[in-house]
């Protein structure tokens, strides 16, 4: 893959020149002819909604993780919501989750009538702080949604011990964590419900889509929850050998994955190992390039985990540069490098701020890190030249704006 680079910044000029002739997108999907052929095969078949390819995707995904079972859904959010409903979480209950996450981690508690209770994060990994989790438990607490932020696993042993002590449902939000490992175990390989995302920017994609792994008995109930509360899905009613009769066992939801999406997933799953190899190569290049920059705090990977590297989150060290994070991102854009921020802490959003009285400074670790973080491009489609362009841009901004 070629890079459109070759325009280096002029050290003596006040005007910033782009390091590229085209814009480097932050996280485009890595799709090829194999995915196109698999989707075309589905479109030419007699079945395009939830059917044989979705079932096959579930089996192959579970086998890849060593999970006891898997349920394909239309999003990670659906997986989290379905898990809470299946686990009996409802009105008057409290669900603990991180403030440094995407809104879905907390929104699903609202969807079941529960109250999301936010907690702060650890300063190095930015994962949920187990001590803050323990302090947040009340007699109303019924569940913990554990977020594996950026692809680095949270401290599952410590948080799991809290959940076991208080008999809480522990649901893992693994939207970023495919294929991460915690102490040698794949995230999603256990019996507790774990939700994955296949959104377009994720480590593998089905465009939109998700997967819920966990105990087979739990997943059987979750499957009913995820499709209108029906006792039979369409494949079991309309395929050869199926039967027209079904019953509504509860007022469920419309969360099923289609065979068109599963077609993409089957191909992407086969490519996942190669995708991850390239992600680790890009991370290694960033680490090497930025290790000596006192203006930058690099992401960490603890010794007992294997990071999925969904995100590469840089943090600007306070007081070293004469510009803030917002200006740093503007400067990256001027150099035609796409970046993003993950995430605006939930307690700063109007809904959670106004509904629950959260305010600035309430979660100081998450907020202070949010104010100085940005995510660099990290995807398997990056060429060595692309990576060099990102490094050049970051270094140039640091050099120009050092105090």
Three-state DSSP class for residue 238: helix
Strand order in the sheet with 169-173: 70-73, 210-213, 194-197, 169-173, 141-147, 94-98, 115-119
Q: How many Å apart are CA 309 and CA 158, to the nearest integer?
A: 22
Q: How many Å apart are CA 380 and CA 377, to the nearest integer?
A: 10
Continuous H helices in 87-215? 104-111, 130-136, 156-165
* DSSP letter assigned to residue 317: P
Catalytic residues: 202
Phi/psi class of residue 207: alpha, beta or left (left: φ > 0; alpha: ψ in -120 to 50)? left
CB 108 within 8 A of CB 193: no
Q: Measuring CA to CA, how many Å separate 315 from each of 296, 307, 366? A: 6, 18, 12
| Unique residue bearing structure tokens 């299946």 | 86
Partners of residue 98 on adjacent β-strands: 119
Whether residue 343 is preceded by a cis peptide bond, meaning omega within 30 degrees of 0, is yes
* DSSP letter assigned to residue 368: H
CB 370 within 8 A of CB 291: no
CB 109 within 8 A of CB 116: yes
The beta strands (E) that lie in 215-372 are given as: 296-297, 305-306, 312-316
**Residue in 239, 275, 279 with CA at minimum distance from that of residue 376:** 279
Three-state DSSP class for residue 218: helix
Whether residue 179 is preceded by a cis peptide bond, meaning omega within 30 degrees of 0, is yes
């Amino acid at each position: 893959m070629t890079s459109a680079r070759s325009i280096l910044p002029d050290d003596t000029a006040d005007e910033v020149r782009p390091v590229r002739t085209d814009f480097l997108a932050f996280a485009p999907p890595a799709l090829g002819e194999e995915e196109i052929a698999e989707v075309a095969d589905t479109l030419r078949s007699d079945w395009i909604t939830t059917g044989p390819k979705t079932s096959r995707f579930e089996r192959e995904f579970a086998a890849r993780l060593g999970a006891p079972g898997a349920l394909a859904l239309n999003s990670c959010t659906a997986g989290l919501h379905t898990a809470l409903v299946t686990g009996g979480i409802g009105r008057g209950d409290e669900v603990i989750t991180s403030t440094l996450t995407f809104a879905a981690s907390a929104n699903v508690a609202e969807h079941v009538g529960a109250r999301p209770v936010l907690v702060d994060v650890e300063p190095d990994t930015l994962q949920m702080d187990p001590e803050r989790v323990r302090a947040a438990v009340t007699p109303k607490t019924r569940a913990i949604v554990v977020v594996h932020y950026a692809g680095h696993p949270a401290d599952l042993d410590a948080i799991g011990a809290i959940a076991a002590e208080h008999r809480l449902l522990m649901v893992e939000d693994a939207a970023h964590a495919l294929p991460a490992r915690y102490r040698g175990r794949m995230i999603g390989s256990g019996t507790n419900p774990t939700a994955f995302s296949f959104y377009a920017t994720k480590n593998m994609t089905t465009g939109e889509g998700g997967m819920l792994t966990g105990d087979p008995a739990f997943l059987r109930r979750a499957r009913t929850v995820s499709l209108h509360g029906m006792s039979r899905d369409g494949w079991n009613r309309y395929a050869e050998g199926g039967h027209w009769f079904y019953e509504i066992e509860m007022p469920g939801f419309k969360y099923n994955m289609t065979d068109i999406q599963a077609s993409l997933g089957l191909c992407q799953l086969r490519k996942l190992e190669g995708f991850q190899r390239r992600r680790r190569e890009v991370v290694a290049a960033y680490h090497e390039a930025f290790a000596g920059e006192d203006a930058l705090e690099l992401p960490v990977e603890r010794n007992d985990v294997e990071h999925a590297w969904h995100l590469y989150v840089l943090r600007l060290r306070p007081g070293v540069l004469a510009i803030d994070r917002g200006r740093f991102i503007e400067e990256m854009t001027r150099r035609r490098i796409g970046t993003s921020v993950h995430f605006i802490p939930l307690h700063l959003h109007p809904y959670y701020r106004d509904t629950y009285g959260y305010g600035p400074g309430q979660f100081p670790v998450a907020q202070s890190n949010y104010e100085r973080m940005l995510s660099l491009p990290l995807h398997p489609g990056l060429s060595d030249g692309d990576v060099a362009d990102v490094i050049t841009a970051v270094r140039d901004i640091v050099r120009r704006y050092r105090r």
